[in-house]
């Protein structure tokens, strides 16, 4: 017997070392379930770990390795959950005489065993107590899930079969509001339907028009992509690339093509839109490849611990984050300060944090009790880059979800008491009945914010915009730099304090994210074929068009009274101009007109003075005087074309020109006919003699003039000349001119003149062989040839000339044609009268005529 005791003592002494406690075993331990009893239990599923599989290379083959990373942000969900449960239990007005318990499950973030925890929750087999039944009374009222919507959707399809109430505390997802698929699933978060508009307004605020998109590769991601693309297209923001990322870290981490696309893109701004659980994968890659030359625009926040201890340089510095506005609870901070292992000994994760950061030691193999801990330590003393003390958006939703269930239970309890008073207030949980109260739940939380679960009554709430600061490295601080209010008036939806923003370390100033550089004033955007609208060339504006703003799609033509400056970014007032007397050209033409008019008057004076001489008498004095007087006024006619035009001068220009030249040409025609009748008929009959004696050819003048007056009358009554402006002939000048009105009438007048000149030329040509003393017909033919040539040449030159030269050309044609008449008809006669007076004797004239064998008739 003694030997037996000695052997037992020796065995116990030697076997104890095999079971010596090693605290390192606690680091590999994973707690899957925490339970607190109560009359009614609310269960929640929280993914405490990020789990993913990766391939590792061995000497023989590739093997799969599973990696896990603790998620501090998920741990905060559980704290918010416990905080809400305890606060409700202390509230005497909400669920009186009823204690709330909780059933907290740690679920994996992958989908391999997604439904394991819900089955445990449904069956009540989550607690394993030795020597007791494994199945407890199932009094779970509702199940809270999040923050990954795909996982919640899988669970929801299972719970939908049993009408088991499920409250989702992750970001709002449209598909989860489908009552046909998820009749018992409710969402606490407000809608995000206006967020794409807010993101685009942020782009427009900073003039970012070339943006990359990184979204989840699922139904929700496709819906978000459609909304974002539509909003970007409406506001002329272009998508540089779209990368749909898978729902786990490793598959994206190993996708070299996706990573390379983000790294080499010319877009300096990338929008990352996804739920927090799977967002960590892209965050991991961003930090791993040190992509600190991009501005990341994100929704909500991410798990800081996921990258806190991996990278020395935080590539997310300068990121912009949209978060729903919510008021934090002051009691939550007090709860965090008092949350410690001595008060909550069953929380293994809390004990691990105390061991890691406060150098405590595990006192037993249960990894719950701690020793050698410094006094008065709390979660708020944890490093900033490891623990986010402020309540996250999802934690806020967890808090509201617990209260939504509690209020629903409270209302259901009141109804049961009213219907069944004999049950003494004991709550009978009918989950299918609880759905009715959850659907219609509408209450105000402790912060004064309204919580609505019915998706039809949810409204878009305001957003806070945060800037992530991590300079110096390790600061890890979110600074509020603006707000987005979807319901604000247009143009006031977004407010930003630009001076507070810290940009990524790759930028010294406001980053630019454009496909093409801006087109400065004077240029317009010209689209590149096959490229988005934001990719363009800069093309200079066409002549007399401007662009006075940056990146204009079209140039604007200057008004007729203005012209574009050299840079083509401003319209200048044109200088009003016309053929003025002060202009050198105007002065020259005026001098010519007055000189020729004076010369014609002088010729008229010579003919009047020597009217008794044979050469004057032989040329029909009356017609000569009419022609000279008419030519005098013809030379003065151009003065109407010079100076500032007005309605009177415009009308007088054309009518005076038409009538005076008609009189002159009809006079020449009368003289030509008289010469032909006098010298082509050697034996005139009675009719010819009567015509000669009665001077019938002189009636040609009033007849032709009357025809021209009729034409001018029709012209002035139908479409008279008027004052017009020519804004295009001379750059920078507005030319004031007289518009002819009816071009048909103007050309008809010229045609009538040319017809008369051609008739006079024909008559004169028939008299080309007259004696030299009576060579007026020859000179008249030359004058008509000059007149005809001038005005036939005038028409093409007139239509091809611009500006003041048009007026000068018409004046010059009037002067040349008038000078042709004066020079060809009267200069030879004046030469004989003034310098060869011996030839201006009747006897000399007759002798010269007889010597040629011609008959002499004095006209």
pLDDT of residue 592: 92
Within 13 A of 504's CA, how many CA atoms are on the CB side? Answer: 22
pLDDT tens digits for 516-534? 888 999 999 998 888 888 8
**Per-residue tokens: 347:** 């929380």
- Give the whole-angstrom CA distance, residue 93 versus residue 76: 27
Distances (CA, A) of 3 to 11, 12, 13, 14: 12, 14, 15, 16
Q: Give the residue from 566, 751, 559, 784 showing the smallest Cα distance to 671.
A: 784
Q: Helix (H, G, I), strand (E, B), or coil: what is residue 366?
A: coil
| pLDDT confidence band for 232 (50 / 70 / 90) | very high
Closest CA to 578 of 745, 725, 793: 725
CA distances 319 to 299, 315, 501, Å, are: 11, 9, 9
Task: Tell me the C-alpha distance between 833 and 607, whole Å.
Answer: 9
Question: pLDDT, tens digit, for every residue of 622-665?
Answer: 888 888 999 999 999 999 989 888 988 888 888 898 899 889 88
Q: What is the DSSP letter of 844?
A: H
* Higher per-residue pLDDT: 337 or 59: 337
206 or 853: which carries more pLDDT confidence?
Answer: 206
Q: Is the pLDDT of residue 307 over 50?
A: no
Measure the CA angle with vertex 336, ends 330 and 340; round to 5°.
155
pLDDT score of 842: 60
Pairing of strands 100-108, 40-57: parallel
Which positions ≥6 away from 553 have C-beta within 8 Å? 524, 525
d(CA 563, CA 546): 9
Q: Does residue 777 contact residue 672 with C-beta atoms inside 8 Å?
A: yes
State the pLDDT at residue 253. Answer: 55
Q: Which two tokens stand for residue 725?
A: 């402006």
What pLDDT, on the 0 to 100 scale, is given for residue 118?
Answer: 76
What pLDDT does residue 695 have? 59
CATH assignment, 30-53+66-191+329-339+395-452: 3.40.50.2300
Q: Which of 124-128, 441-445, 784-788 has the lowest mean pLDDT?
A: 124-128
* Predicted local distance difference test score (pLDDT) of residue 290: 60
Helices (H), 476-610: 584-609
Cβ–Cβ < 8 Å for 102, 36: yes
Question: Residue 368 to residues 98, 459, 624: CA-CA distances in angstroms?
Answer: 29, 44, 138
**Among 696, 651, 644, CA closest to 674:** 696
Cα distance between the two ends of the chain: 186
**Confidence at residue 287, expressed as pLDDT on a 0 to 100 scale:** 64
Q: Which two tokens stand for residue 726?
A: 């020519």
C-alpha dihedral (211, 217, 223, 225), degrees to nearest 10: 10
* Ramachandran area for residue 559 (φ above 0: left; ψ -120 to 50: alpha; else beta): beta
Q: What is the DSSP string of 648-669?
A: HHHHHHHHHHHHHHHHHHHHHH
> Which residues does residue 572 pair with via DSSP β-bridges, in sequence order?
563
- The residue among 71, 75, 92 whose CA lies nearest residue 83 is 75
Mean pLDDT lowest among 252-261, 265-274, 340-349, 553-562: 252-261
Query: Residue 269: pLDDT above 60?
Result: yes
**Structure confidence at residue 132 as a pLDDT band (50, 70, 90):** very low
Packing angle of the helix pair 686-694, 647-679 (nearest 10 deg): 140
Whether residue 201 has pLDDT greater than 90: yes
pLDDT tens sequence across 359-413: 887 766 667 667 778 888 888 888 766 777 778 888 899 999 999 999 999 999 8
DSSP conformation letters of 131-198 = TS-S-----EEEEEE-S-HHHHHHHHHHHHHTT--EEE-SS--GGGG-TTT-TTEEE-SPB-TTHHHH
Q: For helices 804-835 and 647-679, give the axis angle rounded to 10 degrees.
A: 40
Strand pairing class (166-168; 140-145): parallel
The stretch 353-359 carries a mean pLDDT of 82
Give the pLDDT of residue 469. Answer: 84
Q: Which two tokens stand for residue 377?
A: 């330590």
Task: Evaluate whether 30-53+66-191+329-339+395-452 and 584-645+652-703+754-851 have a shared fold.
Answer: no
> 3-class SS at 496?
strand
Tell me the pLDDT tens digit for each residue of 14-37: 444 433 445 555 655 666 778 888
Residue 306's CB is within 10 A of a number of other CB atoms, namely 22
Which token pair is 595? 């000189």
Residue in 505, 500, 513 with CA at minimum distance from that of residue 467: 500
List pLDDT tens digits, range 729-750. Answer: 777 888 888 888 888 888 888 8
Mean pLDDT for 709-735 is 85
CATH topology of domain 584-645+652-703+754-851: Rhopdopsin 7-helix transmembrane proteins (1.20.1070)
Looking at the structure, give the CATH architecture of the domain made up of residues 195-326+465-500.
Answer: 3-Layer(aba) Sandwich (3.40)
Q: Which pLDDT band, with edges at 50, 70 and 90, does 431 fall under?
A: confident
CA 512 to chain centre: 16
- E strand map for 709-772: 722-726, 733-739
Please state, for a pLDDT cut of 70, what percent of the chain lies above it.
77
Q: What digits encode the pLDDT tens for the residues 4-17?
A: 544 444 444 444 44
Model pLDDT for residues 656-700, shown as the tens digit of each residue: 988 998 898 888 888 777 776 666 555 555 555 555 555 556 678
- The token pair at 546 is 């401007």
The DSSP output letter for 612 is: T
**CA-to-CA dists, residue 73 to 149, 631, 671, 683, angstroms:** 16, 107, 117, 134
Residue 337 has pLDDT above 90, yes or no: no
Q: What is the pLDDT of residue 67?
A: 60
Q: Residue 709, exposed/middle/buried by CB under 10 A (0-12, 13-18, 19+)?
A: middle
Task: Please say whether the beta carbons of 627 and 825 come within 8 A.
Answer: yes
Handedness of CA 370, 371, 377, 381 (dihedral sign): negative
Per-residue pLDDT, 18: 38
- The mean pLDDT value of the chain amounts to 79
Q: Which residues contact 444 (CB under 8 A, 6 or more apart)?
A: 450, 451
Residue 308 clears pLDDT 80, i.e. is over it? no
Q: CA torsion 411→413→418→422, rounded to 10°?
A: 180
CA–CA distance, 591 with 639 (Å, rounded to integer): 10
Closest CA to 528 of 519, 520, 537: 537
Q: Taking 50 as the threshold, does the pLDDT of residue 549 lie above it?
A: yes
What are 215's strand-pairing partners?
244, 273
Report the length, in residues, of the chain: 859
Whether the per-residue pLDDT at 616 is higher than 60: the answer is yes
The yes-or-no verdict on residue 815 having pLDDT over 70 is yes
Contacts 24+ apart (CB under 8 A), 778-784: 779/824, 779/825, 779/828, 780/668, 780/671, 780/672, 780/675, 780/824, 780/825, 782/820, 782/824, 783/668, 783/820, 783/821, 783/823, 783/824, 783/825, 784/668, 784/757, 784/758, 784/760
Taking the domains of the chain in order of start, what are their residue ranges?
Answer: 30-53+66-191+329-339+395-452, 195-326+465-500, 523-573, 584-645+652-703+754-851
Q: Which two tokens stand for residue 852?
A: 């040629």
Q: What is the pLDDT of residues 153-200, one digit of tens each?
A: 888 888 888 889 999 998 888 889 888 889 899 999 888 889 999 999
Segment 474-481 mean pLDDT? 79
pLDDT for the residue numbered 665: 86
pLDDT-based confidence at residue 343 (cuts at 50, 70, 90) = confident
């Amino acid at each position: 017997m003694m030997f037996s005791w000695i052997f037992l003592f020796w065995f116990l002494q030697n076997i104890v070392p095999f079971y010596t406690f090693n605290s390192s075993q606690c680091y590999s331990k994973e707690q899957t379930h925490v339970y607190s009893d109560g009359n009614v239990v609310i269960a929640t599923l929280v993914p405490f770990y990020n789990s993913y599989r990766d391939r590792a290379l061995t000497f023989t083959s590739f093997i799969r390795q599973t990696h896990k990373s603790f998620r501090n942000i998920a741990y905060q969900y559980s704290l918010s959950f416990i905080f809400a449960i305890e606060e409700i239990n202390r509230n005497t007005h909400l669920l009186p005489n009823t204690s709330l318990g909780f059933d907290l499950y740690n679920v994996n973030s992958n989908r391999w065993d997604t439904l394991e925890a819900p089955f445990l929750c449904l069956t009540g087999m989550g607690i394993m107590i030795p020597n007791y039944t494994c199945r407890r009374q199932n009094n779970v009222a509702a199940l809270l899930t999040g923050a990954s919507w795909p996982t919640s959707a899988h669970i929801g399809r299972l719970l939908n079969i049993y009408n088991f109430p499920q409250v989702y505390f992750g970001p709002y997802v449209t598909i989860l509001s489908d009552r046909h698929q998820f009749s018992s699933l409710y969402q606490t978060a407000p809608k995000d339907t206006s967020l794409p508009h807010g993101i685009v307004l942020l782009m427009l605020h900073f003039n970012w028009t070339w943006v990359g998109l990184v979204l989840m590769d699922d139904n929700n991601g496709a819906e978000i992509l459609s909304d974002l693309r539509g909003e970007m297209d409406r506001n002329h923001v272009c998508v540089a690339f779209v990368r749909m990322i898978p729902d786990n870290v490793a598959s994206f981490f190993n996708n070299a093509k996706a990573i390379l696309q983000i790294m080499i893109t010319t877009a300096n701004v990338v929008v990352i839109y996804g739920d927090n659980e799977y967002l960590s994968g892209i965050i991991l890659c961003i930090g791993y490849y040190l992509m600190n030359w991009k501005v990341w625009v994100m929704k909500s926040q991410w798990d800081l611990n996921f990258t806190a201890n991996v990278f020395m340089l935080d590539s997310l510095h300068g990121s912009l984050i949209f978060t729903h506005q919510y008021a934090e609870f002051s009691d939550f901070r007090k709860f965090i300060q008092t949350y410690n292992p001595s008060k909550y000994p069953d929380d293994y994760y809390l004990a691990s944090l105390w061991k890691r950061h406060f150098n405590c030691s595990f006192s037993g193999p249960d990894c719950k009790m701690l020793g050698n801990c410094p006094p008065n330590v709390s979660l708020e003393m944890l490093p900033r880059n490891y623990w986010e003390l402020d309540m996250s958006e999802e934690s806020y939703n967890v808090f509201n979800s617990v209260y939504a269930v509690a209020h629903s239970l409270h209302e259901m309890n009141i109804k049961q008491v009213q219907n069944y008073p004999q049950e003494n207030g004991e709550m009978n949980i009918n989950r299918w009945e609880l759905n009715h109260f959850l659907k219609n739940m509408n209450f105000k939380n402790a912060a004064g914010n309204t919580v609505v679960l019915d998706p039809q009554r949810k409204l878009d709430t305001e957003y806070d915009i945060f800037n992530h600061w991590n300079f110096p490295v390790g600061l890890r601080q979110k600074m509020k730099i603006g707000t987005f209010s979807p319901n604000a008036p247009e143009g006031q939806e977004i407010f930003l304090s630009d001076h507070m923003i810290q940009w990524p370390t790759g930028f010294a100033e406001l980053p630019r994210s454009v496909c093409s550089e801006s087109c400065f004033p004077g240029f317009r955007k010209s689209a590149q074929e096959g490229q988005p609208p934001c990719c363009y060339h800069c093309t200079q504006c066409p002549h007399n068009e401007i662009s006075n703003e940056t990146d204009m799609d079209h140039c604007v033509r200057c008004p007729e009274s203005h012209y574009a400056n050299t840079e083509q970014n401003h319209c200048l007032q044109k200088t009003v101009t016309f053929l003025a007397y002060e202009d050198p050209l105007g002065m020259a033409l005026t001098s010519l007109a007055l000189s020729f008019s004076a010369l014609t008057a002088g010729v008229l004076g010579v003919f009047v003075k020597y009217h008794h001489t044979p050469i004057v008498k032989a040329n029909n004095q009356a017609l000569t005087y009419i022609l000279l007087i008419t030519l005098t006024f013809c030379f003065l006619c151009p003065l109407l074309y010079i100076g500032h035009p007005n309605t009177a001068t415009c009308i007088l220009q054309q009518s005076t020109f038409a009538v005076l030249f008609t009189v002159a040409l009809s006079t020449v025609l009368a003289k030509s006919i008289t010469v032909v009748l006098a010298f082509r008929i050697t034996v005139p009959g009675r009719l010819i003699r009567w015509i000669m004696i009665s001077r019938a050819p002189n009636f040609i003048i009033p007849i032709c003039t009357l025809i021209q007056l009729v034409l001018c009358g029709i012209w002035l009554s139908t479409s008279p000349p008027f004052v017009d402006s020519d804004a295009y002939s001379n750059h920078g000048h507005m030319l004031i001119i007289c518009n002819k009105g009816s071009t048909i009438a103007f050309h008809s007048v010229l045609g009538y003149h040319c017809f008369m000149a051609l008739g006079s030329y024909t008559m004169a040509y028939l008299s080309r062989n007259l004696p030299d003393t009576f060579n007026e017909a020859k000179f008249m033919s030359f004058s008509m040839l000059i007149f005809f040539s001038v005005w036939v040449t005038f028409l093409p030159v007139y239509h091809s000339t611009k500006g003041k030269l048009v007026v000068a050309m018409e004046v010059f044609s009037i002067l040349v044609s008038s000078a042709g008449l004066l020079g060809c008809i009267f200069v030879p006669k004046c030469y004989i009268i003034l310098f060869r007076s011996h030839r201006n004797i009747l006897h000399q004239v007759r002798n010269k005529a007889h010597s040629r064998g011609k008959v002499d008739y004095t006209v």
